[in-house]
Chains A and B, each alone.
Chain A
C-alpha cells in the first residue's frame, strides 16, 4: 500500500492509518467480488474494472485521462508542409512503426531520413518517441500501450530529427542564394515551440499585434498597398524551386522582405503588425515553416511607422482565404487578407 495514499485517505477521513488499511482491504475485497459477479465495475469519472479470464483489466475514464493530460490540452498533431518535389521516404516505415516500442539506433534514424528515388507515396515514420520502460515488458502492461518514457529529454530527439530532415530535404545550394528553407534555426525554433509542454509558450504567436480590427477583411481586400512603402528594394529572381532569391539593400539582412514584391500583384495574409523592423524580422521567422513567401511591409499610421507581417502570395482572394481556412491553426487570430499591387 502506498504510504502517501493511505495517509492522505486517513487525513481526509480523520482516521488512523491502521484503520484505513483495514477499510481499504474490506473495500477492495468487496470490489473484486462485485467485479467477479457482475463482470465489471464502472467507477464514475475514474474508469472501469473488468476481468478478462484471470486478468483484472482497468480502462481509465475519458474524464480522468483528460485531467491527467491537462498540460497538453492545447497541443495537437500538426503538419509541416514540404514541397513534394523533394522525395522523402524510404520504404522501411512499417518496420519503424512496428519497432515503436524500442528506441531506434542512430543508424536506424539515419536510414529513415535518407531519401530514395522511388515510392514517394510511402510514408515514413521516424518513431523516435516510443520509449519502453526498462522495468516492464509489453506483456505485463494491462493497458497494452507501447512507448512509455519518463524521461522528457527524449523530446529533443524528434526536434533534432525535424531539423535534420528539413536540412536534407531542402539541400541548401549556393551560399549566395538564401531561401526560406535555409533558415534552419527558425524552423527548428518553430517546431520546438509547437512541441513545448508549457502552454504559455505556445501562445507566443497569438501575441502578435494584429491590426485587423482597424482593417476589416472585406474593406481591406478591396484596398491595395498604394499608400505603403514596402521594405523590399529590388525585384526578385525566381529560383527553380519556386522560392525567391534575396535582393539587395535592407533585404540583404532580411531574407523575408523580398519574397514577393509590389510588382507581383495578388493577395497576402497579414498575420500581425509591429512597431520596429527588428521585431518584424524576428516575428515573421515564426512563419517560415509554412514555406510560403514572406514579406515585411511598412506603412504610416498617424505618423508612426509600423510593419505588417505578410505571409503568402495568392492570385485571388478566394485562394488566400482558402489557405487561411484550411490551416487556421497555423495563423494567429486576427489574420486578414490584404491586396498587393
Chain B
C-alpha cells in the first residue's frame, strides 16, 4: 500500500474512513475489522513536588501539587474474526 501510488478508490477509501472516525463513528470494514473511537477522560493525581528553584514567595516555595490531565479520544481497532488469518 505504501510502496505504490494509491489509486482513486484507495484514496477515497481511507479518506472516507478518516472522515467517519472524525465524526466519532464506529466503522466496520468487511474482511478487515472495526474502527472505533473511545473517549478517555482525564485523570487527577495528588502528590508532592519539589519547590521550584529561585521562587522566593513563602506560600509557593513549599508546595505539593494536584495534577489534572486532560481527556483524549483513542482509536481502537478490532480485527474481524477470520479463520483464514
Contact = CB atoms under 8 A, between A and B. Distances in A.
- Chain A interface size, as a band, is 35 or more
B61 to A, nearest CB: 9
A83 B63 contact: yes
DSSP majority for the B interface?
mixed
Interface residues of B, number: 67
A29 B67 CA distance: 47
A2 B27 contact: yes
A145 B15 CA distance: 25
B12 A4 contact: no
B29 A123 contact: no
A129 B41 contact: yes
A128 B77 CA distance: 25
DSSP majority for the A interface?
mixed
Given A68-B21, A123-B48, A154 B70 contact: no
A23 interface: yes
Contacts, number: 273
Contacts of B71: 72, 75, 129, 152, 155, 195, 197
Given A64-B18, A148-B40, A155-B41, A82 B59 contact: no
A218 B66 CA distance: 34
B46 to A, nearest CB: 5
A315 B12 CA distance: 63
B63 A81 contact: yes
Interface stretch (A224-232, A279-287, A316-324, A331-339): A316-324
Interface of B: 1-3, 8-10, 12-22, 25-33, 35, 37-49, 52, 54-60, 62-79, 85
30 contacts: A5-B16, A5-B17, A5-B27, A21-B30, A24-B30, A24-B31, A28-B29, A43-B14, A45-B18, A58-B33, A72-B71, A78-B68, A80-B66, A80-B67, A80-B68, A81-B64, A84-B64, A88-B64, A100-B43, A127-B44, A129-B40, A141-B76, A142-B33, A148-B39, A149-B41, A150-B39, A158-B42, A161-B44, A195-B71, A322-B52
Closest 6 CB pairs of A and B: A123-B47, A148-B38, A75-B70, A58-B77, A319-B56, A28-B31
